[in-house]
Amino acid sequence: MLLHFYKMNGAGNDFVVIDNRDLSISLDKDQIEALCDRHRGVGADGLLAVEPAENGADFKFRYYNADGGEAEMCGNGARCFGRFTAALMDESPDRVTFETIAGTLAAELVDENIRIAMSEPKDLALETGAAVPGLDATLRFVNTGVPHVVAFVDDLAGTEVVKHGAAIRYHEAFAPAGTNANFATVLEPGHIAIRTYERGVEDETLACGTGMVACALMHHLLTGAPSPIKVDVKGGDTLEIGFEKTGDASFNKVTLTGPADFVFEGDIEI
């Protein structure tokens, strides 16, 4: 089978994108993993599939991690999905809606950037009680569409992201689904830098949208920094997280604003 695909990236988080609005493409876990392989495939952190909406939105969003497993959401992937699907529509829209496992989201085109209205965070815990050897940091938790642990550290550059990230990802406290792991440091009030170990990729990635949201909300809760909060990622971009606080530890109108770029398109035999 010859598969037509597009390659996109959002702040360095990269994706294979396929147009499956006619539902003619059926990929299994091994095929998705092979497509995302950086040596023998296209190479990506995950795969995005555009499918027809079922509940009134413009499109349905399907996201698969590099290991072929389907995930609820991906913030950077959602921005790429928004730019990609806007190009599919007859008229150039300012806003596109799409259904995800985490709920219906909206993408707005803001100059050269894409702003995603994220799902409301849940299951927030400023103290999880969990710890991993060699990491002197409090492990905090929030689900921003997918589960995330946030650890603020003094030396971000020197943090062993893969080692500590894997230990957190597979920690019994977050079983059986596991969690993503983020390490953050404060550059100045309202401006943080992060590094992320992504579940499903099982490695550090250049950016993670839902991880940025998790870290920004934790920064607000710990310091009172107002919205929007700037977040620097390993890929070199700075993104903005907007939100409204509705309670002691609850939020709505959470947004993620940043770049989403086409890289190339092609065909590959699968």
pLDDT tens, N- to C-terminus, the chain (270 residues): 899 999 999 999 999 999 999 999 999 999 999 999 999 999 999 999 999 999 999 999 999 999 999 999 999 999 999 999 999 998 878 999 999 998 999 999 998 899 999 989 999 999 999 999 999 999 999 999 999 999 999 999 999 999 999 999 999 999 999 999 999 999 999 999 999 999 999 999 999 999 999 999 999 999 999 999 999 999 999 999 999 999 888 899 999 999 999 999 999 999
CB of 115 within 8 A of CB of 259?
Answer: no
pLDDT score of 13: 94
pLDDT score of 248: 81
Burial class of residue 252, CB neighbours in 10 A (0-12, 13-18, 19+): middle
pLDDT score of 82: 96
Pairing of strands 191-198, 229-232: parallel
80 catalytic residue (yes or no):
no
**Of 241, 249, 242, residue with least CA distance to 207:** 241
Domain residue limits, the chain = 2-119+260-269, 122-257
pLDDT score of 91: 84
Tell me what percent of the chain is helix, strand and coil, each rounded to the nearest 5.
Answer: 20, 40, 40
For 110, list phi and psi in degrees, rounded to 5: -120, 95
**Of 158, 99, 137, residue with least CA distance to 218:** 137
pLDDT score of 90: 83
Q: Which of 36, 80, 208, 215 is flagged as catalytic?
A: 208
Domain spanning 122-257: CATH superfamily: Diaminopimelate Epimerase; Chain A, domain 1 (3.10.310.10)
Could you identify the residue written with the tokens 């995603």?
116
Distance from C-alpha of 218 to C-alpha of 44, rounded to nearest angstrom: 28
Task: Tell me if 2-119+260-269 shares its fold with 122-257.
Answer: yes
The fold of the 2-119+260-269 domain, in CATH, is: Diaminopimelate Epimerase; Chain A, domain 1 (3.10.310)
pLDDT score of 111: 87
Q: Which of 36, 74, 80, 215 is flagged as catalytic?
A: 74
